[in-house]
Structure 1
Amino acid sequence: MRFKKQKRHRKTVRFFSVNFGFRQPFKVLCDGTFVHHLLHNDLTPADKALSNCLSAPVMLFTTSCVLAELKKLGAAQSASCQAARKLAVARCDHEKKVSADACIEEVIGENNLEHFFVATQDADLRKKLQKVPNVPLIFGLRNALFLEKQSKFQDDFVKSSEEKRLHLTEKEFKALEKRITSDSANVDEEDSVDEEGLGHHNPGLQPHITRNYSGKEGDVKDRVRFKRKRAKGPNPLSVKKKKSRENPNRASGKEVKGDDGNAEGKRKRKRSRKGKILAGTDGAVQ
């Protein structure tokens, strides 16, 4: 049962985060009834209990009108008043203090710009805030805290806003229509210029002036022609290495002498005598 509750809470938190931009740490606006419920059921510390409910870090807030209302209740709510004073105070701009539910409604407004989660035990206040699109509600039941599922009004609001994003507004439609008409007018002007010739339709359009260039500049053509890249030489990886032409004997420091005793650069050829020996054997057989 606890796992299902956490799964449902995560789904609700994801709904408000994706559609309305709620970000961690979540801000929770508490009234006096909720603070009293936390103390009465030993759900302390409050920030830990709420972070477990939302599976995320939280910041707790209240208003000066809520503190004033708890103070008016006297000693019966003194512990709740002291606990509420430890919370951060959200600005409500009420010179003359009003009731807690009226103050919270005014702080939330129509758009909940501060992205508050509202924690209250007041059922009437929760019903009123269910008609505001982006207000998630938290309440306590005995020793457990619950995050209310988004109301039908909030679901319908999200669906209608998604449909509006898919369609053009009146302003966007007029701008698009104006652009289409201007583009069609430009196309008609270009067609008329092509039929009648340049310079007759629009004085702002001037024909291209060709200049006479001398020398190499006269060979310049109107259209740019890209040169095709060609291989400038053989691939060095596919070419065999060149053999050195130096005399191996000269490189080794040896000299070959001829018949006259002079050193020669040429290498002396050795002749084989196999041919002569074969010729001699043939004569002997005969």
Structure 2
Amino acid sequence: MGKQKKARKYATMKRMLSLRDERLKEKDRLKPKKKEKKDPSALKEREVPQHPSCLFFQYNTQLGPPYHILVDTNFINFSIKAKLDLVQSMMDCLYAKCIPCITDCVMAEIEKLGQKYRVALRIAKDPRFERLPCTHKGTYADDCLVQRVTQHKCYIVATVDRDLKRRIRKIPGVPIIYNIERMPDDYGAPRF
């Protein structure tokens, strides 16, 4: 016969007096909370998010051709894997002139990735891309893009990152490009 296992006692701890216990002295006791009576005639205040004046019925009126598109690092890598020309694909997608914009933080992020992403760095340094200087501290690209989009509603954001898309969707009036595909030749796509 082996040793019997003792069962542990669950939820054992020192018993403590409640601050409302009758055995405590009057000065040590917790005073009962008084409920504030609400005045039914008083106006009820609600916190309603204020949308910028550039949004008319929550549609952004500042967007228009030529479109300024903020490009994220992973979107450049996605276009390389899909073997697509970034600027031409954007124009095919939006049917208008597109000016891709890269912030200093995105450029720093691509440079930090090293030698493996040298093709992405070469694409980012293309003269067709507009460079946007950053004035904030740090080089975290997602925060930079979200901050720039909240300040200026004239940008479209191109990203494949799920977390960044989730953050940008909370900002009203900012469109997102997250998928660019090559047009198939079989279905009557125009040939250039």
Alignment TM-score, normalising by the size of structure 2: 0.60
Q: Given the alignment of the two structures, is residue 71 of structure 1 paired with residue 129 of structure 2, yes or no?
A: no
Paired residue for 1:90, among 108, 124, 132? 132
Partners of 2:65 and 2:97 within 8 A in 1: yes
- Report the equivalent of 2:148: 107
For 1:144 and 1:129, how far apart are their aligned partners in 2? 25
Q: Please state whether the residue corresponding to 2:178 is helix, strand or coil.
A: strand
1:219-238 superposed matches below 5 A: none
For 1:144 and 1:132, how far apart are their aligned partners in 2? 29
1:113-124 superposed matches below 5 A: 113=153, 115-124=154-163
Bigger share in helix: 1
Q: Deviation of residue 91 (structure 1)?
A: 3.0
Which amino acid letter does the alignment assign opposite residue 130 of structure 1?
Answer: R
For 1:130 and 1:33, how far apart are their aligned partners in 2? 18
1:1-286 superposed matches below 5 A: 19-21=59-61, 22-44=63-85, 46-86=86-126, 87-94=129-136, 96-109=137-150, 112-113=152-153, 115-140=154-179, 143-144=181-182
Q: Deviation of residue 112 (structure 1)?
A: 3.1
Q: Deviations over 1:24-76 (max 9, x none)?
A: 111111011001111111111x2111011011111110111111111111111
Q: How many residue pairs were aligned?
A: 125
Q: Deviations over 1:193-240 (max 9, x none)?
A: xxxxxxxxxxxxxxxxxxxxxxxxxxxxxxxxxxxxxxxxxxxxxxxx
Which amino acid letter does the alignment assign opposite residue 102 of structure 1?
Answer: D
Report runs of 4+ in structure 1 exceeding 4 Å deviation: none
Partners of 1:92 and 1:107 within 8 A in 2: no
Gaps of 5+ in 1: 1-14, 146-286
Distance 1:140 1:42, change over 3 A: same
For 1:85 and 1:103, how far apart are their aligned partners in 2? 19
Q: Deviation of residue 19 (structure 1)?
A: 2.8
Distance 1:106 1:79, change over 3 A: same
Which amino acid letter does the alignment assign opposite residue 70 of structure 2?
Answer: L
For 1:130 and 1:88, how far apart are their aligned partners in 2? 24
Q: Which moved more, 1:84-93 or 1:125-134?
A: 84-93
Partners of 2:67 and 2:99 within 8 A in 1: yes
Q: Deviations over 1:70-124 (max 9, x none)?
A: 1111111111011112221123213x43211111111112x533x1000001011
Alignment TM-score, normalising by the size of structure 1: 0.41
Partners of 2:60 and 2:174 within 8 A in 1: no
